[in-house]
Structure 1
Amino acid sequence: MSDAVTTAHRAGPGAFADVLRLPGVGAVTAIGMAARIPATAVGVTLTLHTVTALGHGYGAAGLVAAAVPTGMAIGSPLLGSVVDRYGLRPVLALTMTAGALFWSVAPLLGYAGLLGAAFVAGVLTLPVFSLIRQVIAATVPSAQRRPAFALDSMTVEISYMTGPAVGSLLTVWLGSATTMRVVGAGFVLAGLALWRLDPPVRADRPGDAAATPAGPRPPLKSWLTRPLVGALLTVTAAVVAIMGTEFAFIAALTSEGQAWAIALVNAVWCLASLVGGFLYGAARRAVPLPLLLAALGLATLPAALAWTWWSLLFLLVPAGLVTAATLAAGSAAIGDLAPDRVRGLVTGLQGSATTLGIALATPLSGFLVDAASPAAAIVVCGSVAVLGAVAAAALLRTGR
């Protein structure tokens, strides 16, 4: 018994090793990283198809690319509720069928048809980000969730470094129609792998504070507490800071004729995030979630002072160091606050909170870039995270 306790509280690289030794965690982590690659390739693939194959501008392409995550914001909590009620496999069957149909037919559609179908497909897309977090919360004991979610955030960074690059390269080499079908095949293969693994989506561990006996779903007011709202708020505010900054520096580098440096700056930013996620998961003590969010916002602000690509690269490193850590802390807090019987719904709401952050960040940053400058966009988006941290701290301190 003492060995188990010691193992559960190990720090450093051993914390990650202990998590991966838990039954099924290594497999679901690998499947989750692979499944997120086609998910992160969706935006660039649909954008390039709309521009190159359908002949529309980037504004029209942006609407199509936004249709899928908008649908996912609606579908994620709905599909999470289905998982809570009926288990994982019915959702896998539904999303695999819908995904195979959409990605097979999408290259044949005109613009209006593609726009509408992309939204419907988003509603019925496998919520892989939320689902993997739900499985982690259900299978990993509370004492080990911090390194588990840190590891999950690190794999998300790897997926975001890989997916868009794969989508754009395949579009150049094979054409957008073939690439769209490859993306669809990736979703189907991910669904089949999860079907084969069939990981648990409820805890059912005696003594786990998040586990609840089987029975009817608890009433809304019993689980949608102020701390949970605060944790969801941190996710939205963090995504606004991250995605708004990304949009701003892409605009800045493009306007300065340094678009070639976008991939390099983004890669270094993601590598810093990986390092920060590792340090957060390996630390002996957890850092409070509002403090991490405030650090993310404040560390973002110096990037507004960048005057060339290499200065931007270095000024983004501090923000990168707390990016994955903040997102992991948010996932851990939500996982601890979610009752077992509505875990799928709550992790679906986390997916919606993420999508809301993206939906707010892009137009906010774009408006500020046009009206003022990329530097102004970075300052405002970073400040959103700081203000979100203040509000979240107040909500997380309350009991209900």
Structure 2
Amino acid sequence: MAGYRDLLRTPGVARIMAAQLTARFPSGMTSLAILLHIEHVTGSYGAAGLVLAATSVGQAVAGPVTSRWMGAWGMRKVLILTTLVCAAGITTLALAPLTVPGYMIVALLAGLATPPVQPAVRTIYPKMVNSRQLTPLFSLDASLQEIIWIIAPVLITFVATQAGTVPGLLLIVVILLIGGTWFIVSPELGRVRIPRSRRSLGKVMTKPPVLLATVAGFLLIGATAAVEAGVVATFDHGGLEAGLVLAVFSIGSLAGGLGFGHIPIGRWAMARRLAIVAVGLALAMVSLEIWWMGGALLIAGLGVAPALAVMFAITSASVKFSDTAEAFGWVGTGQLIGAAIGSAIAGFLIDDIGPQGAFAAGAAFAALGVIVSAVFVRGFPDLRGRDASPIPDTEPVSIIT
């Protein structure tokens, strides 16, 4: 913990971390709010899963593109545009009476305009700390983002059940605008300029660590999305139980990230951390009783933030600085496609066989992540004793002779 305190004393680190966490706070509310709202309007978890999947697909498509735009146009311009359009899309979802296809179109547009805060801040981090501090900073970031998942589900569940799903979605819009403004005006966004990438779009995915981080993120977030749908369906959004159980899941992740953040990242780090998630989700299938489910998800959560920290570190260490934003955009895309597929599969399994189907899907996603990480273990870089900073960009230098 002393190391984390030193990190937060580094000039600007605490400020930019607080700003980006606030700007990203709606990400912990939006999926659950859309799920509750569309299920309330249509009476079908399957329809809600489709609308939620449309949101995630929009985010997935936009991720690498808007991240790359930041190198061409500047971070602030891209963030301002996407924040305003995303806010308008969520407001439309809340207030407009639409059919399911109509909701899916609006959700897709809102997803396409999701502000690329995550790629922006993870591109800024290497310029704020020394190489020794970077891997712990990624771990701290992955851990503290769990505060979002601890508070946000409880907050949005409370608002949606007590005031209604429409006020819940409008609350997200307010936080999105406030948090986005705070992050956009942060001095660090003016001090760091992302160089224009000279590679074609998608070329960065030829780097094995970036590809593996993207696949692992797809499977991990697919698992968590399925679990989220399963928890909501188990308690039928009749009270705070769903939000509290999801908060316990995130508390486990926070504890795991802070507890394991100092452990050096070797080739088997991803497989070991995803194995913890798989075991916990397998236990969650045994019983839908709240105490058992909470305990199982607490165990599963211990592996989530540590696995995310591995993804961030191996991505940063494998690409040039000019490609970091796009690389993190692709990693985010993998996670969002996983969320889309995981939530859609879970929604249909809930309609067909009940909430346990969603937990089975989550456990299957996590187990597949362990298998992929073990089979392709040689594709993961060994960062023990190595610098996780991006590779410096180099240019030809004219020499006068």
> TM-score higher than 0.5 here?
yes
Which residue does 2:124 correspond to in 1? 135
Distance across 2 between alignment mates of 1:317 and 1:159: 16
Which residue does 1:120 correspond to in 2? 109
Label 1:366 to 1:97 Cα distance change in 2 as closer, same or farther (>3 A): closer
> What secondary structure does 2:199 align onto?
coil
> What secondary structure does 1:337 align onto?
coil
* 8 Å Cα contact 1:280-1:325 kept in structure 2: yes
* 8 Å Cα contact 1:202-1:340 kept in structure 2: no
Distance across 2 between alignment mates of 1:368 and 1:310: 23
The offset of 1:187, in angstroms, is 1.7
Could you say which structure has the higher helix fraction? 1
Which residue does 2:134 correspond to in 1? 145
Query: Which of residues 133, 145, 150 in structure 2 aligns to 1:161?
Result: 150
Distance across 2 between alignment mates of 1:323 and 1:389: 13
Task: Kindly report which structure 2 residues correspond to 1:249-398, keeping only aligned pairs within 5 A, or say none.
Answer: 249-252=231-234, 261-281=241-261, 283-286=262-265, 288-306=269-287, 308-369=289-350, 374-375=355-356, 377-398=358-379
Per-residue Cα deviation, 1:1-37 (whole angstroms, up to 9, x for no partner): xxxxxxxxxxxx1221222223322111111221222
Which residue does 1:16 correspond to in 2? 4
Kindly indicate whether residue 83 of structure 2 is the aligned counterpart of residue 102 of structure 1. no
Per-residue Cα deviation, 1:115-166 (whole angstroms, up to 9, x for no partner): 4223212111213333333333453444323321222222222112222333
Kindly indicate whether residue 208 of structure 2 is the aligned counterpart of residue 226 of structure 1. yes
* 8 Å Cα contact 1:98-1:124 kept in structure 2: yes
Which amino acid is the alignment partner of residue 26 of structure 2? Answer: P
Which amino acid is the alignment partner of residue 43 of structure 2? Answer: G
Which residue does 1:25 correspond to in 2? 13
Label 1:305 to 1:105 Cα distance change in 2 as closer, same or farther (>3 A): closer
> What secondary structure does 1:110 align onto?
coil
Label 1:65 to 1:340 Cα distance change in 2 as closer, same or farther (>3 A): same
* 8 Å Cα contact 2:153-2:243 kept in structure 1: no
* 8 Å Cα contact 1:81-1:345 kept in structure 2: yes
Which residue does 1:58 correspond to in 2? 44
Which residue does 1:83 correspond to in 2? 70
Distance across 1 between alignment mates of 2:293 and 2:204: 46
Kindly indicate whether residue 171 of structure 2 is the aligned counterpart of residue 182 of structure 1. yes
Label 1:289 to 1:200 Cα distance change in 2 as closer, same or farther (>3 A): farther
* 8 Å Cα contact 2:214-2:331 kept in structure 1: yes
The offset of 1:259, in angstroms, is 7.2
Label 1:378 to 1:44 Cα distance change in 2 as closer, same or farther (>3 A): closer
Distance across 1 between alignment mates of 2:112 and 2:61: 6
Kindly indicate whether residue 225 of structure 2 is the aligned counterpart of residue 243 of structure 1. yes
Q: % of aligned pairs identical?
A: 25
The offset of 1:372, in angstroms, is 5.6
Distance across 1 between alignment mates of 2:357 and 2:159: 35
- 5+ residue gaps, structure 1, are 1-12, 205-211
Label 1:399 to 1:315 Cα distance change in 2 as closer, same or farther (>3 A): closer
Label 1:117 to 1:161 Cα distance change in 2 as closer, same or farther (>3 A): same
The offset of 1:66, in angstroms, is 3.4
Label 1:50 to 1:248 Cα distance change in 2 as closer, same or farther (>3 A): closer
- 5+ residue gaps, structure 2, are 382-401
Label 1:334 to 1:302 Cα distance change in 2 as closer, same or farther (>3 A): same
The offset of 1:49, in angstroms, is 4.4
> What secondary structure does 1:153 align onto?
helix
The offset of 1:95, in angstroms, is 1.4
Paired residue total:
375
Distance across 2 between alignment mates of 1:367 and 1:125: 26
Label 1:372 to 1:64 Cα distance change in 2 as closer, same or farther (>3 A): closer
The offset of 1:342, in angstroms, is 1.6
How big is the alpha-carbon RMSD for the aligned residues of Structure 1 and Structure 2?
3.3
Label 1:139 to 1:312 Cα distance change in 2 as closer, same or farther (>3 A): same
* 8 Å Cα contact 1:139-1:203 kept in structure 2: no
